[in-house]
Structure 1
Amino acid sequence: MPFEVPEGWVWTTVSDISKSILYGVSESAKSEGKYKLLRITDIQDNKVDWETVPFTDFDDNKVSSYILHNGDIVFARTGATVGKSYLIQGLSQKAIYASYLIRIQTFDLILPEYVKLFFESGYYWEQIELSSVGIGQPNVNGTILGYLNIPLPPFAEQKRIVIEIEQWLSLIDQIEQGKDDLHSVIKQTKSKILDLAIHGKLVPQDPNDEPAIELLKRINPGFTPCDNGHSRKFSQSWCSVTVNDVCSIIGGVSYNKADIQDTGIRVLRGGNIQNGKVIDCFDDVFIPLSYQNNDNQVQHGDIIVVASTGSQTLIGKTGFADRDIPKTQIGAFLRIVRPKQKALSPYIRLIFQTDDYKGYIRNVAKGSNINNVKNAHLQNYQIYLPPLEEQQRIVQKIEELFSVLDNIQKALEV
């Protein structure tokens, strides 16, 4: 016995509890036909969307052997999902199953719901791992499946087990849904906090703060604020500017593929921008030191922007350089937004995380296949700048609030 079972239980095999273990049909999927054709790929997260399952035709004289019934269990016998199973339920039309699936039909006093639960157990998966054969493409045939050991309780206890586990699984699903909902609330809360920050509603204003325009005049003595009417919604100490007024936009390095090597200058690409940070990747590209360019070498305070991608979701994604990164430059599909005064960097970084910025970028960068952020798109983006002292209070407040939210999020992942 693999392990002890309660009195009244027996150790048996899948073959001994099954009246049929049968491979599926080798038929092509069609948009129309007499029968639905269930395939491995139609089974996702223990569910089947029968509306999307294709059709097929089959010999009417032979089809009865392959017709699926409620209570049948189908089993993936090959590929990356070998061992995955699905309990047929809620059939509303005739369906058969494809050749990479094996169907199990249990005897009447064997509850298929109990067998399906066994097919989810750790002990079942241990047997599948030990029994799988093949190099690169693991598979389990019908004979091996039939040999698998299964602990079997009396029929009445099978029912009680199924009812008890379904109750627990339902509770777990509710908890998981609650976690998902809370993750969503946390994300929305962060967006709202950022929105309040850039509209001057997160921290109180201090009339003793030096107006932002004085700081801007020191950065650029010829600076002239533009007023399109919106600035009247802000404190007089705030100032309407474009990104170009307070930041430099720096392009990335282009290189020949033939120059790629194992060491040298690391070239950042879109994959290096993750969760608002600049990270190393296992497949990073390196080019010779002859490509050295001090302008697009990543410096502390730089905001790295994904400027070219086929994804509307990823376009404009930003990462913040929290340190100087030696021998690291951005690639041609990225841009550096570099504040002209480093003290501005923490606040401007927040602006580039807001929904307002993301909406602006997705609107201006649309393309038929590739989305592109031009330098002018970044330069012309209008922002409202508070006094430097207020920027610092805003950044500090956001760090405090985000820290609380991050701790909650980490607790959800335990």
Structure 2
Amino acid sequence: MNGKQLKNSILQWAIQGKLVPQDPNDEPASVLLEKIRTEKARLVKEGKIKKDKNESFIFRGDDNSYYEKFLATREVKCIDEEIPFEIPQGWEWERWGNISQSIQYGYNAPALEKGVIRMVRISDIQDNKVLWNTVPFCMIEEKDIETYLLKINDILFARTGGTVGKSFLVKDVPMKSIYAGYLIRTRYSSLLCPHYMKAFMESQLYWEQLKNGTIATAQPNCNGKTLAKMLLPIPPINEQKRIVERLHRISPFIERYSKSQDALNLMNMQIREQLKKSVLQEAIQGKLVPQIAEEGTSQELLEQIKLEKQKLIKEGKLKKSSLFDSIIYKGDDNKYYEQVNKKCLDITDQIPFEIPENWVWVRMGQIGDWGAGSTPQRGNANYYNGKILWLKTGELNNRIVYDTEEKVTQKAFQDYSLRMNKIGDVLIAMYGATIGKLAIVGKELTTNQACCGCTPYLIYNWYLFYFLMASRDSFIKKGEGGAQPNISRVKLVGHLIPLPPLKEQYRIVAQIEKLFEQLR
């Protein structure tokens, strides 16, 4: 259980009457609600608030069912299906609209450095505090100020965007202020405990009702009607105060627990990541699964790859130059050499670790056909909104990719000589913050220039995938140029890869995925 879950559980106990004991000497909530109705009627008569056309009251019938009576129409309906849980004797269910004196939308005006009055915006409220230093001014006519003026114990409610539903209890107003249009101010009877009302607006019951009343658009939003319809359990006023006092006492413990849990979660995540890195390092060093002599050698696999290349050259799918591979071997002096045409180079300092005898070191260009993508001219209608999937590096998901946000036309494909990556190809990001991100192609696609694709020759694509994952830190170190690292296609094809026999590649991948699943 994390800190948020613990807090949610405690708030749930609070609004269900399970956090503090009930006192039979407390004045019941029914009396409190009757006082609020009387107060509200007086304020309507005095012209201080508007009459609520949807005013109602909730009661429990002799059959133990819950009913709601609407005062304007005298309609009575059973609301048993809306009641989420049982509450203690002496408590009552009520609608937020019945206990509120007003539910007022904020004022729409541009934010200014100077003006008539301060205007609190959603962005000025952080961690249940108003950052008064950031609150701007606005222009508003004097006659309208009172309508939007903030007062102590008002509750502000975000009605749109990513913060929809978040609430803020106004505890002080150090400077005369109104509030902006994306907020709703709810003002309720002073007979209620403000901090209990705020606690309800952090409870799971509140969020569930809000979700049901939220309008799902590009920017989710909620309105005053949704808030007015919300059901909340009302305890006797003395119990409200006891609940708030208990919540206040245990709040520091919840905060400490939350921080400890967050630290533990971070540590567990870091341990999992380190274990995954260790698994990958063991895998590419030939230590994750045993070698089996009957599976042959990687040298034999390289011979098969050479034959495959010759076949592809004959079919016109590869250039003859792809056959000019180097040969890497270990000399009698235990040094590593690379034969390139007639040159023999000592590359011992490039070899990062020892590998099993039946493995070989090769350059990545030898085991696959590598090619980067391109970006067709932006703004040209002839190039976009076509049918060919076009992937950007931000869409690499470190698994299999089946779709892309954008698609290009056949004309773009031809004009820019785009590479078509086939199903099973391995993709890697070469530039910027995404360098080293990977994917396996699940559906034929092309890519932008920051992504390089590889069609492997007779090797298991998932072995290449996990080797590239294990090598990400190495690619970042090799990255060059500007504030963001980048690694060119030339450096990718020249990177060394330890190559096991094909059957061992399959066993390595199976063991990696088994261990990764256990780490989840």
TM-score (norm 2): 0.57
Instruction: Give 2:455's aligned residue.
Output: 338
Q: Distance in 2 between matches of 1:154 and 1:283?
A: 58
Aligned match of 1:195 in 268, 277, 281? 281
CA–CA distance in structure 2, aligned partners of residues 41 and 155 of structure 1: 33
Q: Match for residue 54 of structure 1? A: 134
For the 8 Å contact 1:269–1:330, the answer to whether it is kept is no
1:234 aligns with 2:320: no
Give the Cα separation in 2 of the matches to 1:276 and 1:74: 43
Deviation at 1:390, TM superposition (A): 4.2
Could you give the per-residue CA deviations for residues 276-302 of structure 1, whole angstroms, max 9, x where no partner exists?
Answer: 212124654453698499993333441
Equivalent residue in structure 2 for 1:314, among 434, 458, 475: 434
Judge conservation of contact 2:167–2:198 (CA < 8 Å) in 1.
yes
Cα distance, 1:156 vs. partner?
3.5
1:349 CA drift (Å): 1.4
Q: Write out per-residue CA displacement over residues 155-196 of structure 1, whole angstroms, 9 at most, x where no aligned residue.
A: 243356554799799599689846666455434432221122
Q: Does the CA contact (< 8 Å) of 1:11 and 1:150 recur in 2?
A: yes
CA contact (8 A) 1:190 1:402 kept: yes
- Which residue of the partner structure matches residue 223 of structure 1? 326
Structure 1 spans left out of the alignment, 5+ residues: 410-414
1:403 is aligned to 517
Aligned residues of 1:267 and 1:287 also touching (Cα < 8 A): no
Closer, same or farther: CA 43–373 of 1 in aligned 2, 3 Å:
farther
Aligned residue for 1:240, secondary structure, equals strand
Is 1:41 aligned to residue 127 of structure 2?
no
- 1:364 equivalent in alignment to 2:482: no
Amino acid at match of 1:154: P
> How far apart are the structure 2 equivalents of 1:140 and 1:379?
58
Q: What is residue 179 of structure 2 aligned with on the other side?
A: 98
Identity %: 26
CA contact (8 A) 1:306 1:317 kept: yes
Q: TM-score, normalised by structure 1?
A: 0.69
After superposition, the C-alpha distances for 1:22-72 in whole angstroms (9 at most, x for unaligned) are 776778768999x9964213456xx3576696144699x999x95675x65
Deviates more, 1:372-381 or 1:23-32: 23-32
Does 2:460 align with 1:385? Answer: no
1:56-135 equivalences under 5 Å are 56=136, 72-77=154-159, 81-87=163-169, 96=177, 98-100=179-181, 101-104=183-186, 109-119=191-201, 120-122=203-205, 126=209
Cα deviation for residue 350 of structure 1 reads 0.9
Equivalence for 1:252:
373
Preserved CA contact (<8 Å) 1:27 1:98: no
Instruction: Compute the displacement of 1:374 (Å).
Output: 2.6
Distance, in Å, in 2 between the alignment partners of 1:127 and 1:316 is: 41
Aligned CA distance change for structure 1 residues 130 and 253 (closer, same or farther; 3 Å): closer
Verify the 8 A CA contact 1:22 1:103 in the aligned structure 2.
yes
Question: Relative to structure 1, is the Cα distance of residues 81 and 290 closer, same or farther in structure 2, using a 3 angstrom cutoff?
Answer: closer
User: Partners of 1:11 and 1:301 in 2: how far apart?
Assistant: 59
Which one of the candidate residues 332, 339, 350 is aligned to 2:466? Answer: 350
Q: Deviations over 1:9-32 (max 9, x none)?
A: 235554665678677677876899
Structure 2 contact 124–131 (Cα < 8 Å) conserved: no
Structure 2 residue runs without a partner (length 5+): 1-67, 69-78, 307-322, 329-337, 339-346
Task: Give secondary structure in 2 for the equivalent of 1:116.
Answer: helix
Distance 1:284 1:184, change over 3 A: farther
Distance, in Å, in 2 between the alignment partners of 1:366 and 1:204 is 41
- The structure whose Rg is larger is 2
Instruction: Answer whether contact 1:75 1:83 (CA < 8 A) is retained.
Output: yes
Change (3 A) 1:81 1:344: closer
Computed over aligned residues only, the root mean square deviation of the Cα atoms, in angstroms, reads 5.1
Alpha-carbon deviation of 1:154?
0.7
Q: Which residue of 1 aligns with 2:402?
A: 279
1:319: how far off?
0.8
CA pair 254-221 structure 1, distance change in 2 beyond 3 A: closer
Give me the whole-angstrom Cα distance separating, in 2, the residues matched to 1:261 and 1:26: 38
Structure 1 counterpart of 2:425, from 302, 313, 327: 302
Count how many residue pairs are aligned between Structure 1 and Structure 2. 387
Question: What letter is aligned with 1:313?
Answer: A
| Code of the aligned partner of 2:422 | Q
Question: Residues 204, 37 of structure 1: CA spacing in aligned structure 2 closer, same or farther, 3 A cutoff?
Answer: farther
> Which of structures 1 and 2 has the larger relative contact order (alpha carbons within 8 angstroms, sep 6+)?
1
Q: CA distance change for structure 1 residues 88 and 397 in 2, over 3 Å: closer, same or farther? A: farther
Secondary structure of 1:258 counterpart: coil
